[in-house]
């Protein structure tokens, strides 16, 4: 919100007892382009801060209050934000966790719904998904898992989505062969492809999500004809 401008602000110091925080300006780095990462971050802020909820809201792109006080910096993509944080003393930003790890950035612990400060790991993100995901409907797989319950749930977590036409012939450049190939790839992604998740610091999908995805994929068509059968 632009109200805290230095690292040794009393509100930050209170959360870090015994730490000698510097009298240094904070540069808040955010995405300049629309992104799901921004939605996940602003969805968390929307959930935990009434001022943010009322004034800014949640979206893939927002007007950042911190820019108005000249301490905000925009960068394109996760790589751009990670690079800006890496090269700007006193900065803080938000990226997918793999970008923070691969760029050797410091990772802050975030207060979750249980009041515990948690860092993002495979286990803490899995905890958030397990706590916030019930039995989804294949017709609507949109789910918010930010600020999930649980002592060890990381609070800024989200699913990643792929958007496709239910009848793929609705896309002008789509052929039946392409539609079949895409559907088969998506089927692979939710099955064998899950083995690649953890190395990229993505949590493998819960079994109930896979089941809902399977039902969705078997409903896809091309000019009314099914593209995949179980």
CATH code: domain of residue 37: 3.40.190.10
Evaluate whether residue 130 is within a structural domain: no
Domain hosting 166: range is: 162-230
Tens of pLDDT, residue by residue over 22-76, are 999 999 999 999 999 999 999 999 999 999 999 999 999 999 999 998 789 999 9
Average pLDDT, the chain: 94
Instruction: Note every long-range contact of 83-86, with CB atoms under 8 Å and residues 24 or more positions apart, other chains counting.
Output: 84/29, 85/29
How many C-beta atoms lie closer than 10 Å to residue 45's C-beta? Answer: 20
Of 42, 72, 107, the last residue of a domain is: 107
Which two tokens mark 125? 């993100």
Residue with tokens 């979206």: 59
The pTM of this model reads: 0.89
How many C-beta atoms lie closer than 10 Å to residue 180's C-beta? Answer: 15
Give the chain's domain count.
2
Indicate whether 16 and 101 sit together in one domain. yes
Tens of pLDDT, residue by residue over 135-185, are 888 888 888 899 999 999 999 999 988 999 999 999 999 999 999 999 999
């Amino acid at each position: 919100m632009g109200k805290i401008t230095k690292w040794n602000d009393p509100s930050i110091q209170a959360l870090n007892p015994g730490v000698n925080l510097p009298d240094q300006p904070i540069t808040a780095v955010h995405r300049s382009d629309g992104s799901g990462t921004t939605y996940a971050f602003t969805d968390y802020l929307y959930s935990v801060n009434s001022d943010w909820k009322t004034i800014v809201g949640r979206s893939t792109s927002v007007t950042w209050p911190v820019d108005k006080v000249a301490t905000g910096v925009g960068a394109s993509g996760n790589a751009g934000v990670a690079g800006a944080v890496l090269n700007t003393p006193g900065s803080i930003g938000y990226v997918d966790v793999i970008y923070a790890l691969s760029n050797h950035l410091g990772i802050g612990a975030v207060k979750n719904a249980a009041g515990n400060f948690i860092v993002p790991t495979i286990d803490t993100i899995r905890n958030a998904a397990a706590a916030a995901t019930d039995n989804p409907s294949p017709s609507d797989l949109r789910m918010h898992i930010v600020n999930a319950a649980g002592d060890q749930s990381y609070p800024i977590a989200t699913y990643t989505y792929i958007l496709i036409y239910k009848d793929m012939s609705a896309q002008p450049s789509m052929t039946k062969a392409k539609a079949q190939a895409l559907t088969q790839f998506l089927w692979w992604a939710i099955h064998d492809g899950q083995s690649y998740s953890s190395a990229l610091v993505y949590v493998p999908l819960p079994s109930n999500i896979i089941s809902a995805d399977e039902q969705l994929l078997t409903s896809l068509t091309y000019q009314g004809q099914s593209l995949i059968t179980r």
